[in-house]
């Protein structure tokens, strides 16, 4: 019987990891919107999620620099600009002059005052909501209304029985699961909103505990399973490794030597290494990865190095090719932008073992890629991959006889993982740390500038470039929308061309074709482009020693780890380098903390510690992108008591109540246990 293809909505649900009704039950709101009131336009503030009612007094379709729909809404207190980058004819009709409407969205600072981009539009005068409206984690193309209805259906049909025996639940003073879950999906209007937002309500305490318990139970299973798995034992102290070290024009730092000794030992074992190599930007992780690759190749296995962007993958190729080709090692390159003939040639070289070192992007995990004898997988900037992508590469192990041999795994990250996170969340991952920079590197000086001082910053950029240096101007993420980010980058590029007509200014963003992107980056490396306007596509992998100035537009919109990564693009030569964080007041408390941290320290480990205080561990572990985050609600820094209780119960529950432990894992980790291996 032919299977029915999933509907488009079902495909979007699956992208969020929502496959069965129980998945929907534990898909909880990110936040709640108060649609119980109308805001006055004159009282609006930047960053506020607001609902206003008024009359459309202007509506127009503009064609430069690209097609967009704009409108102005007016109430008794003031006017507000509205903007759509993508729109349909019926939206134009809806916005005819003189129409009374209600619009809702996030207020942001536009070039000509306050504005809302892509506001939600409804009829004015309709009844206001009587309770808080849950806003769920979603994906492009999936409307909140559809998600809310699916969750409501799941709550009606799912088994909400408790996985914790009554004596244990009461001893821990936790709410019943069914009560907690229904409360969080439909909070009553009288609830204290702060308790919901801060996850301090008893309902949140129950959900956070359940999540931590599931995580600890799954980690215990993963640990036991890994020690039963097989890997190629890759003998150490090879001639290839010694020859590679002789080629290097520098000596390894003590921290590099220590990290390498740990990795070298693990590679020689017959069970798979599962190690993270962490170190600040510029600490020399790539050299250690090369040594690991040399040890593996000398033991007649293949090595795959996967990077999240083509720019970063190309950097690895450029660094490693001269080292390894001098040693007679064949290298294959795989990326999405390759011509078909080149890609087919790489596939063949990988499959017949002609290529021992394979470097590329996510193209490495395509079905057509068949390794002859994959022994080591190296993943750079591992937190930028979804866990499913890392798992797909690690699963390309070799079947030998009656047993499966899995590749050793080395992940690299310039986003250091704080000790608390490593101990509590990565109990199945060994961590090597490079905690010193090579000699000769001077810290980047960071300056904060209010957006009102933009002209001063432009003058500063001009002076730096006239002195023979180069600069970056990075544009912000806007509500994590690539379309809006691109819009901002193009607007900024055109504005800077007018402000600095005598400079060669380039533009690079994720929508450019790979060849255009590569040509622009090469022009910047060579000095032909003096000022590069970019989106966060340059966050990692760009190494231009002559670039000494980084300007980050709307710095308050970036995460702390991302700001630190961007700052790391400068300071790579001998000259003193600077990073200017251009911010738009008023700043939220979290934004103030981020900018303060950037101003006060250049230490990546201190940055990471502060970052973890502000966010959960999802982005450190690369789970956020996949929609399968292993810790979505609990915070290991602030929920220490819950974590300790969960750790203890993870030991006791399988012994005393094995069925309850299995039921708990099914509810929270169904289909996700394997992700811990990645």
328: left (phi > 0), else alpha (psi -120 to 50), else beta? left
41 to 60, 72, 96, 101, 116: CA distances (angstroms): 21, 12, 20, 13, 12
Q: Return the half-sphere exposure (C-beta side, CA atoms, 13 A cut-off) of residue 351.
A: 10
pTM confidence score: 0.61
DSSP, collapsed to helix, strand or coil, labels residue 105 as strand
Neighbours of 451 (CB within 10 A): 15
Contact 13, 142 (CB under 8 A): yes
Give residue-wise pLDDT tens across range 151-201.
999 999 999 999 999 999 999 999 999 999 999 998 887 787 778 878 889
Give CA–CA dist 322/306, Å, rounded. 19
Q: Bridge partners of 399?
A: 404
Give CA–CA dist 250/498, Å, rounded. 44
Contact 66, 488 (CB under 8 A): no
349 to 331, 338, 343, 346, 359: CA distances (angstroms): 9, 15, 10, 5, 13
Give CA–CA dist 535/581, Å, rounded. 15
Percent of the chain with pLDDT over 90: 44
Band the pLDDT of 384: cuts 50, 70, 90: low
Residue 538 has pLDDT above 70, yes or no: no
Contact 565, 540 (CB under 8 A): yes
Q: For the residues of 203-234, what is the DSSP string, one character each?
A: HHHHHHHHHHHHHHHHHHHHHHHHTT-B----
Backbone dihedral angles phi then psi of residue 104, each to the nearest 5 degrees: -140, 140
Give residue-wise pLDDT tens across range 429-461.
788 888 887 776 778 999 999 988 999 999 999
Give residue-wise pLDDT tens across range 250-294.
889 999 999 999 999 999 999 899 888 988 777 888 999 999 999
Cis peptide before 128 (omega within 30 of 0): no
641 to 138, 467, 518, 536, 637: CA distances (angstroms): 30, 56, 50, 37, 10
Q: Which residue, among 259, 275, 255, 266, has the nearest Cα to 431 in the 3D structure?
A: 275
Give residue-wise pLDDT tens across range 240-262.
999 999 988 888 999 999 999 99
Residue 298 has pLDDT above 90, yes or no: yes
Give CA–CA dist 70/300, Å, rounded. 62
User: Residues 58, 64, 70, CA angle at the centre, nearest 5°?
Assistant: 25
Indicate the burial class of 64 (C-beta count within 10 angstroms; 0-12, 13-18, 19 or more): exposed
Q: What is the pLDDT of residue 234?
A: 95
CA distance from start to end of the chain: 35
Q: Which residue, among 421, 373, 414, has the nearest Cα to 289 in the 3D structure?
A: 414
Residue 623 has pLDDT above 70, yes or no: no
Q: Return the half-sphere exposure (C-beta side, CA atoms, 13 A cut-off) of residue 224.
A: 7
Give CA–CA dist 71/83, Å, rounded. 6
Give CA–CA dist 636/644, Å, rounded. 10
Residue 615 has pLDDT above 90, yes or no: no
Q: What is the pLDDT of residue 27?
A: 93
Going by the DSSP 8-state scheme, the letter that residue 659 receives in this structure is H
Give CA–CA dist 666/36, Å, rounded. 38
Indicate the burial class of 126 (C-beta count within 10 angstroms; 0-12, 13-18, 19 or more): exposed
Q: What is the pLDDT of residue 630?
A: 54
Tokens of 110: 């536009």
């Amino acid at each position: 019987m032919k299977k029915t293809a999933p509907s488009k909505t079902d495909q979007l649900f699956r992208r969020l990891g929502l496959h069965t009704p129980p998945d929907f039950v534990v898909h909880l709101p990110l936040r709640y919107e108060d649609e119980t009131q109308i805001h006055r336009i004159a009282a609006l503030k930047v960053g506020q999620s607001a609902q206003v009612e008024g009359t459309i007094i202007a509506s127009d379709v503009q064609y430069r620099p690209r097609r967009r729909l704009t409108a102005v809404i007016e109430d008794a207190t003031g006017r507000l600009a509205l903007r759509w980058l993508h729109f349909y004819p019926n939206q134009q009709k809806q916005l005819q002059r003189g129409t009374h409407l209600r619009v809702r969205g996030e207020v942001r600072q536009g070039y000509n005052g306050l504005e809302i981009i892509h506001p939600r539009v409804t009829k004015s005068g309709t009844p206001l909501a009587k309770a808080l409206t849950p806003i769920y984690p979603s994906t492009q193309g999936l409307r909140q209304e559809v998600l809310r209805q699916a969750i409501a259906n799941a709550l009606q049909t799912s088994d909400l029985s408790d996985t914790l025996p009554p004596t244990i639940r009461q001893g821990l003073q936790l709410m019943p699961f069914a009560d907690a879950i229904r409360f969080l999906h439909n909070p009553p209007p009288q609830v204290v909103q702060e308790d919901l937002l801060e996850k301090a309500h008893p309902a949140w305490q129950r959900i956070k505990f359940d999540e931590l318990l599931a995580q600890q139970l799954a980690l215990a299973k993963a640990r036991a399973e890994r020690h039963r798995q097989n890997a190629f034992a890759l003998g150490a102290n090879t001639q290839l490794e010694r020859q590679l070290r002789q080629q290097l024009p520098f000596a390894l730092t003590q921290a590099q030597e220590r990290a390498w000794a740990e990795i070298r030992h693990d590679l020689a074992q017959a069970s798979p290494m599962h190690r993270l190599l962490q170190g600040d930007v510029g600490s020399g992780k790539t050299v250690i990865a090369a040594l690991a690759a040399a040890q593996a190749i000398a033991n007649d296995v293949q090595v795959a190095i996967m990077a999240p962007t083509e720019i970063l993958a190309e950097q690895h190729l450029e660094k490693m090719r001269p080292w390894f080709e001098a040693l007679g090692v064949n290298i294959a390159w795989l990326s999405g932008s390759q011509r078909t003939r080149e890609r087919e040639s790489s596939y063949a070289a990988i499959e017949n073992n002609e290529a021992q070192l394979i470097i590329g992007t996510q193209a490495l995990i395509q079905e057509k890629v068949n390794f002859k004898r994959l022994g080591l997988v190296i993943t750079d900037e591992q937190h930028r991959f979804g866990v499913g992508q890392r798992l797909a590469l690690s699963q390309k192990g070799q079947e030998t006889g009656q047993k499966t041999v899995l590749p050793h795994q080395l992940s690299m990250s310039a986003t250091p993982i704080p000790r608390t996170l490593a101990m509590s969340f990565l109990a199945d991952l060994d961590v090597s740390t490079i905690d010193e920079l090579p000699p000769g590197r001077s810290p980047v000086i960071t300056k904060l500038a209010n957006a009102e001082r933009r002209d001063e910053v432009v003058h500063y950029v001009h002076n730096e470039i006239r002195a023979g240096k180069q600069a970056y101007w990075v544009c912000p993420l806007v509500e994590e929308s690539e379309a809006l980010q691109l819009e901002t980058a193009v607007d900024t590029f055109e504005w800077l061309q007018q402000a600095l007509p005598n400079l060669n200014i380039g533009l690079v963003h994720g929508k450019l074709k790979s060849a255009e992107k590569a040509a622009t980056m090469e022009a910047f490396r060579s000095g032909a482009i003096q000022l590069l306007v970019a989106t966060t596509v340059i966050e990692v992998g760009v190494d231009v020693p002559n670039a000494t100035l980084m300007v980050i537009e709307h710095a308050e919109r970036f995460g702390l780890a991302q700001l630190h990564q961007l700052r790391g693009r400068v300071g790579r030569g001998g000259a003193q380098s600077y990073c200017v964080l251009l911010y738009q007041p008023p700043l939220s408390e979290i934004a103030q903390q981020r900018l303060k941290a950037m101003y006060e320290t250049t230490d990546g480990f201190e940055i990471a510690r502060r970052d973890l205080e502000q966010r959960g561990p999802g982005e450190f572990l690369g789970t956020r992108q996949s929609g399968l985050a292993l810790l979505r609600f609990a915070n290991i820094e602030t929920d220490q008591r819950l974590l300790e209780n969960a750790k203890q119960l993870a030991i006791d529950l399988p012994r005393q109540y094995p069925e309850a432990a299995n039921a708990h894992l099914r509810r929270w980790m169904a289909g996700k246990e394997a992700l811990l291996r990645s």
